[in-house]
Structure 1
Amino acid sequence: MNDPLLIREDADGICTLTLNRPDAYNSLSMELMQALITTLDAIADDTSVRVVILQGSGRGFCSGHDLKQMLGEGEEAYYQCTFDTCSTLMQRIVNLPIPVIAQVHGVATAAGCQIVASCDLAVATETSRFATPGVNIGLFCSTPMVALSRAVSKKHAMEMLLLGDMISAGKAAQIGLINWVVAEAAVAEKTQEVAAKIAASSRKAISIGKQAFVRQIDKPLDEAYIECSRVMTENMLTHDAGEGIDAFINKRKPRWQHR
């Protein structure tokens, strides 16, 4: 009962956050969502962190909202607060200035699938399964739809939302919800490999690039190019760009200062 809801571990520029409600399939209680928001806010200002891994403890990644907690409260104001808090959490993931990688095992359903769709990258086991099954209990997954519809094509999103069926990791990779499918024994190793490669780059460059990606993705083509031309100029003026170009020309390893 005294175990932390969220476990943070830092090593070599990689911050691993573990959802720690294994007996409840890491369902998103209000307390867990608030812990995630607070921790992500701290990470945003922590220049020692260059990439985040988000994983779940126990048998699965995350089963979505804690429906028992929600029904126990049973008031409109509480429901609105729950979904507003969840929306804030997902935007924290998207707007975090460094990449977030979902490391998925078992199920990622409803708001758990929403987390995966909100992350920048995702690694899953061969036996992982994904769903937005709210339609099966009379509760359409409208907030998960926001993230899902931005991660996969319209028809694939609507298939998941309207049918509510579980899809395999293979299909999730096929439609663009996740990046890699690996054996269960290899999921942590693969995620660490991806995270280490990102952590070896300039945090400043990665941060500039991720934030620009989020801003430009829904802009018209001409506006996107105007925005990203400005961003490239900003990036060229950083210390690490000059260091990286000089290192490339002189065939040496760059010494990043992350500024």
Structure 2
Amino acid sequence: MLYTPDQTAAFSTYSLRYLQTTLADHVLTVTLNRPEKKNALNPTLINELAFSLTYAHHEKDVWLIVLAAAGDTFCAGMDLKSLSNGEVEPTTVPEPAEPVKLGELMAGLHKPCIGRIQGPVYAGGFLLVGGCTHVVAAESATFSLPEVKRGLFPFQVMASLLEIMPARTVLDLCLRARTLSASEAHQLGLVTEFVKKEDLDAAVSQLVTDLKKYSPAAMQAGLRAYQQLKAIPRAEQQAYLHEQFRQIQQTADAKEGMAAFLEKRPPNWLGE
């Protein structure tokens, strides 16, 4: 883990330079806020993302995350200029325990994460989109991997997309730098839902409402198991999942869910 629970416990006291965050009713909204650079990911923004999402992972009051962006572009990918000239800014959050890998950061969140995509997504921005459990996009949003045009290759994005799409589809996107419309991204499974831009907030809000009806503890256990399954030999997976089901039955949410079912009332989730 990039940060310990003790480090992220003071999250609310930090002033972030390129992120806006709000926590309300168990929903942490994290907004990329570098619109003048099309929310390109420089070292400071990457560390702020790592700190914020690790806080979300550790904090029991956070049941789900909405990942959004200011301006007309969701994310232009890595800030190649800042990376090439070794740009250094004053730190805004503690240094992570190791270099941040966005794909691993998103995979380790273990909580539902909704991507609110209001504009184009380029290059490394796919790591954020691919790591969300749900993606709601404006129908005008586009998705492109232009790395080969610059003599580069989207190695980490390729790995992330292979979790979502067939291999040949992923390779074609990487090799031809083709731009996808929101409709095409939906057909390929990258986008969960696409709507008119003016309906974007309502669609995200409805998805938040839907997810909050159900046990946070159950969803977190399921997402954690989903990630851990990848490292477990197939012959051992059912035994692992059986043990996970045995453990989840002992949680407060499971006991509350069964009681609510028998008493024919809505459950009052604790997230435990």
TM-score computed with the length of structure 2 as normaliser: 0.86
Q: Which residue of 1 aligns with 2:124?
A: 111
Q: Which residue of 2 aligns with 1:173?
A: 186
Q: Is the 8 A contact 2:50 2:100 kept in 1?
A: no
Is 2:239 the counterpart of 1:235?
A: no
Note the residue ranges of structure 2 that are not aligned, 5 or more in a row.
1-14, 88-97
What is the CA-CA distance between 1:55 and the residue it aligns to? Answer: 0.8
Q: Is the 8 A contact 1:145 1:157 kept in 2?
A: yes
What is the CA-CA distance between 1:153 and the residue it aligns to? Answer: 1.1
Q: Give, in whole Å, the separation in 1 of the partners of 2:248 and 2:161.
A: 30
Q: Which residue of 2 aligns with 1:40?
A: 53
Q: Counterpart of 1:62 in structure 2: which amino acid? A: C
* Partner SS, residue 150 of structure 1: coil
Q: Give, in whole Å, the separation in 1 of the partners of 2:99 and 2:181.
A: 29
User: Which of 156, 166, 176 matches 1:143?
Assistant: 156
Q: Counterpart of 1:185 in structure 2: which amino acid? A: E
Q: CA-to-partner distance for each residue in 1:14-39, whole Å, 9 max, x for gaps?
A: 11100000011100000000001111
- Quickly say closer, same or farther: Cα 1:3–1:13, change in 2 above 3 A: closer
Q: Give, in whole Å, the separation in 1 of the partners of 2:200 and 2:82.
A: 31
Identity percentage of aligned residues: 27
- Quickly say closer, same or farther: Cα 1:21–1:222, change in 2 above 3 A: same
Is 2:189 the counterpart of 1:189?
A: no
Note the residue ranges of structure 1 that are not aligned, 5 or more in a row.
75-83
Q: Is the 8 A contact 1:114 1:145 kept in 2?
A: no
TM-score computed with the length of structure 1 as normaliser: 0.90
Q: Which residue of 1 aligns with 2:82?
A: 69
Q: CA-to-partner distance for each residue in 1:91-110, whole Å, 9 max, x for gaps?
A: 12111131111111211111
* RMSD of aligned alpha carbons: 1.8
- Quickly say closer, same or farther: Cα 1:181–1:134, change in 2 above 3 A: same
Q: Is the 8 A contact 1:33 1:85 kept in 2?
A: no
Q: Counterpart of 2:19 in structure 1: which amino acid? A: L
Q: Give, in whole Å, the separation in 2 of the partners of 1:221 and 1:175.
A: 26
What is the CA-CA distance between 1:243 and the residue it aligns to? Answer: 1.3
Q: Which residue of 1 aligns with 2:12?
A: none
Q: CA-to-partner distance for each residue in 1:83-122, whole Å, 9 max, x for gaps?
A: x8451x3212111131111111211111001210111111
Q: Which residue of 2 aligns with 1:80?
A: none
Q: Is the 8 A contact 2:17 2:45 kept in 1?
A: no
Q: Is the 8 A contact 1:50 1:198 kept in 2?
A: no
Q: Give, in whole Å, the separation in 2 of the partners of 1:64 and 1:156.
A: 20
What are the residue-to-residue correspondences of 1:1-259 with 2, within 5 Å? 4-73=17-86, 85-87=99-101, 89-217=102-230, 219=232, 221-259=234-272
Q: CA-to-partner distance for each residue in 1:167-203, whole Å, 9 max, x for gaps?
A: 1111111111111011101112111211222233222
What is the CA-CA distance between 1:218 and the residue it aligns to? Answer: 6.3
Q: Is the 8 A contact 2:142 2:179 kept in 1?
A: yes
* Partner SS, residue 37 of structure 1: helix
Q: Give, in whole Å, the separation in 2 of the partners of 1:94 and 1:223.
A: 22
Q: CA-to-partner distance for each residue in 1:64-97, whole Å, 9 max, x for gaps?
A: 00011112129xxxxxxxxx8451x321211113
Deviates more, 1:57-66 or 1:38-47: 38-47
* Partner SS, residue 60 of structure 1: coil
> Which structure shows the bigger proportion of residues in helix conformation?
1
